[in-house]
């Protein structure tokens, strides 16, 4: 039991966020969930592609996060798209609220995972990319892929 490595299990990832935004800072937040939602998350039935975050009344809320209903949950299942609260320290919430008030900054969900048995969400403070930034990223990725292919051919 001398394993110091933290046990994390990835549930959902938002790759589109990295394509559409520059991620300046990352924060880890807990998620307030019902029992059947946790069971559904453990089965990997979650989507954060359309999700977005807002700060209202000193609380961080996530909208549009879809957690599929648990099959054996019957009457205890909640609405799959209900608004959920995220758990952050008050100082972090105040800091994020100040940054979001600036022009061009927003909060985006990056990934949902289990850490030491607790459901967590990584959120990012992001700035939107312009079209030419996205084209530059695509060109860089193509260049990297091409060099890897050439390197692979040379080493055969």
The DSSP result for the chain, as a single string, is: ----S--EEEEEE-HHHHHHEEEEEEEEEEE---HHHHHHHHTT-EE-SS-EEEEETTEEEEES-EEPPPTT-GGGPPPTT--EEEE--HHHHHHHHHHHHSTTEEEEEEEEEEETTEEEEEEEEEEEPPHHHHHHHHHHHHHHHHHHHHHHHHT-
**pLDDT tens-digit readout, 84-130:** 888 889 988 888 888 888 777 888 899 888 888 888 899 988 887 77
In this prediction the pTM is 0.72
Residue 1 pLDDT exceeds 50: no
| Residue 27 CA neighbour count, 13 Å, CB half | 21
Place of tokens 């996060």: 65
Question: Worst-scoring range by mean pLDDT, 1-15, 21-35, 60-74?
Answer: 1-15
């Amino acid at each position: 039991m001398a394993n110091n490595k933290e046990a994390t299990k990835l549930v959902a990832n938002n790759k589109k966020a990295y394509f559409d935004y520059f991620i300046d800072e990352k924060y880890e937040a807990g998620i307030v969930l019902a029992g059947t939602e946790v069971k559904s998350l453990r089965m990997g039935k979650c989507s954060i592609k359309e999700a977005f975050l807002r700060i209202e009344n000193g609380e961080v809320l996530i909208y549009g996060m879809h957690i599929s209903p648990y099959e054996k949950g019957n009457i205890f299942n909640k609405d799959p798209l209900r608004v959920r609260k995220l758990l952050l320290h008050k100082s972090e919430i105040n800091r994020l609220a100040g940054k979001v008030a600036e022009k061009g900054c927003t909060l985006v969900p990056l990934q949902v995972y289990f850490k030491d048995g607790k459901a967590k969400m990584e959120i990012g403070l992001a700035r939107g990319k312009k079209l030419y930034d996205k084209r530059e990223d695509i060109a860089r990725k193509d260049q990297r892929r091409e060099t890897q292919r050439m390197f692979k051919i040379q080493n055969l």
